């Protein structure tokens, strides 16, 4: 299932799209059919725990992880899920982008 088409990043050749691979418990950033980044999560009916974010080394610095974060947070906001941030990258990203916490219930 594809989600989040509002926030894309253009790398060397194509747009990054994000899809939820619920069976694997991860969101996947996809470019040209290849997974170039992932965010591992655990989800219940009321909460999503964002555990770890990984970007393919060949695609670091292209904004792939930021697309993942924005898309996942937008989905959590829309589904009214509380968010538990475990991922160190996401924690530091939110410190640089505090406006992205608007409308979210962050758990500690």
Could you tell me which residues come within 8 angstroms of residue 78 by beta carbon, excluding any fewer than 6 positions away?
none
- Which one, of 39, 41, 34, 40, lies nearest residue 58 by Cα? 34
The pLDDT assigned to 14 comes to 65
Q: Which helix (H) or strand (E) holds 76?
A: helix 64-78
Instruction: Provide mean pLDDT across the span 100-106.
Output: 92
Question: How many whole angstroms separate alpha carbon 67 and alpha carbon 80?
Answer: 20
Confidence of residue 15 (pLDDT cuts 50, 70, 90): confident
What CATH number should be reported for the domain holding residue 75? 3.40.630.30
**Percentage of the chain lying above the pLDDT 70 cut:** 87
Per the structure, how many domains does the chain have? 1
- Burial bucket for residue 12 (CB in 10 Å: 0-12, 13-18, 19+): exposed
The structure's pTM equals 0.85
Strand spans (E) along the chain: 2-3, 17-21, 26-31, 34-43, 47-55, 82-85, 105-107
The pLDDT assigned to 5 comes to 38
Q: Tell me the pLDDT tens digit for each residue of 45-79.
A: 999 999 999 999 999 999 999 999 999 999 999 99
Domain hosting 76: range is 2-107
């Amino acid at each position: 299932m594809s989600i989040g088409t509002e926030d894309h990043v253009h790398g060397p050749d194509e747009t990054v799209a994000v899809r939820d691979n619920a069976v694997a418990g991860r969101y996947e950033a996809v470019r040209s059919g290849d997974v170039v980044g992932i965010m591992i999560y655990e989800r219940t009916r009321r909460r999503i725990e964002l555990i770890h974010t990984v970007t393919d080394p060949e695609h670091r610095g292209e904004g792939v992880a930021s697309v993942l974060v924005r898309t996942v947070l937008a989905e959590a906001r829309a589904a009214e899920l509380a968010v538990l941030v475990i991922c160190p990258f996401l924690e530091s990203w939110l410190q640089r982008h505090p406006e992205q916490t608007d409308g979210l219930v962050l758990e500690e």
